[in-house]
Amino acid sequence: MIQFNKIRQGTYFYILLICFTFLLSCKGENDSSDTGGGFLSNLFSSESLPVLDPSEVVQALDELKAAGDLSMEDEVQSFYAARGGKAFWTTDELRKVYLDKLSEIEREGLHPEDYRLKALQQLQETAPESPKDHAHFEILLSDSFLNLAHDLYYGKLDPVEFHWIWDVERDTLDIDSLVQSVENSNHLVALLDELRPNHQVYQGLIESLAEIRVSLQQEQPVFDPIPMGEAIEPGDKDPRIPAIAARLQQLGLLEDSVDSTSTVYSPELEEAITNFQKSKHMAADGIIGKTTLRELNMTLEDRYRQVLVNLERWRWYPRDLGQHYIMINIPQYQLAVVKDGDTIKRHNVIAGTRQRQTPIFSDQLDHIVLNPTWTLPPTIKAEDVLPKAARDPSYFTKNDMVVSSPQGDPVDPSTVDWSSSDARNYVITQRPGATNPLGRVKIMYPNQYSIYLHDTPAQGLFERSERAASSGCVRVEDALDLAQYVVQNQPKGTKQEIDSILKSGKTTNVSISQPIKVYHFYWTAWREGGETIFTEDVYAMDQKIAQALLSS
């Protein structure tokens, strides 16, 4: 049987089960006042299987471990060690509650058979006759539950394996609050509800998955993928046009009466493409580029896998994002400011290219910098600037840049051989000004990746639908408005004060006193207005994650 390499926080689960068992046991044994046929009364009145001796439980555990039949071997062993071998799944009701919830888990993109549903259901129905079979049933139920609890809370996969940088702080289980929840609700369902993500995007994706599953039961149109290639503009001739027209007719976006054999990009086809782009929340420019072609080629099976992947992503993210935060969805090229559960501001952004990806991480806002200088990061310095400086000795003067030694001493750039290996040791800084790539402001949350939010003089870039164009930092449309928001109600945070500083041209730091977290996240599907929205997988990670999910 497959062995799962689980994150070590899994030890929280057996502690949780111990507490949960204690609460149920105390209630069932000592509370004789529950005579109204409530849940706990039913729970402890059905003893269909004989009581197991702890030695039988321990022996079954050893046998299953030796056979390699446990997914959560360490956690199961610790759980029963703490219980002194005492059985947990002692009633029909408790077992049935769990198996009923397990049978529904596919709605969240998890496969019930990964947790032995059919085998456990069969054992429940046939009622193991021998103490050995009964003890094996007990252990397998606990292993299944610990496995499911882990995957609901942390995800099946390790996100570090799929991102060049993943540094989002993971939640750990709050044992006290979860036990309190179980004590108040009196059933296992509340515990499982606490384990799964509670974010509205996750809940919406559950709806999307159910919707697509229903559609998959119907016959799907068959089509040959449209070849990628140069962008097609209205009026162009292209041999791919008939295939594009046929695909749009399949999707119900182009009248069947329109000639689908012509190779000319006609006005009728342009209207259909524009409507298709609008439906996918793309720039509706009528140009059939690579993103539009990829979207046209997506099948319903592809969409199903894409939703599975994004459900898994939300299991990786923290459960509590805080009361006030900035969340950036890289593939959507959008930043949202959320306060007390409401999105109060949105800004378009430009993210890192596939070669220089914006990392997935989180940190706390610290300060803004008005009239910022720009110190070139090592990659940009080595790959972009030094080759230009080697060809043109006046490069630094033309771009209003100053050069310093590693110790901070001024250096005359004309005295340096910029083609030498020593050139990388110099610090290159661009002064504030109209050509500074950071624009008028940067918003800082100091981190080891040298990533921050900033303005840009190239505002026209925000009109593009594909905005993976930075070197890793996040450029923000109307960044000054965002900066003014995060320093509002501070002495130097008034609009008048900020305008005065900007006009002076002096580089000035303004601290951010209110606690605001920044999250760099990545998801390519979500639900909006009753429909599922899919966006481009700019860093090409969906397929890798889907393959790992389906093979795990």
Q: Within 13 A of 13's CA, how many CA atoms are on the CB side?
A: 28
273 DSSP assignment: H
Q: What are the φ/ψ torsions at residue 361 (nearest 5 degrees)?
A: -165, 175
504 vs 421: CA distance, rounded Å: 38
Beta 474-476 vs 453-454: how paired, if at all? parallel
CB atoms within 10 A of CB 200: 11
Burial class (CB in 10 A: 0-12, 13-18, 19+), 438: buried
427 vs 423: CA distance, rounded Å: 9
E strands present in 267-396? 324-329, 334-339, 342-352, 360-364, 367-370, 374-375
Q: What are the φ/ψ torsions at residue 158 (nearest 5 degrees)?
A: -95, 115
167 vs 521: CA distance, rounded Å: 10
Q: Within 13 A of 80's CA, how many CA atoms are on the CB side?
A: 30
- The residues annotated with a catalytic role in the active site are 454, 473
Beta 531-534 vs 525-528: how paired, if at all? antiparallel
500 vs 505: CA distance, rounded Å: 9
- Amino acid present at 156: K
Q: Which helix (H) or strand (E) holds 29?
A: helix 11-30
Q: What are the φ/ψ torsions at residue 96 (nearest 5 degrees)?
A: -65, -40
DSSP string for 193-229: HHHS---HHHHHHHHHHHHHHHHHTSPPPP-PPPPP-
Rounded (5°) CA angle 501-504-508:
45
340 vs 516: CA distance, rounded Å: 12
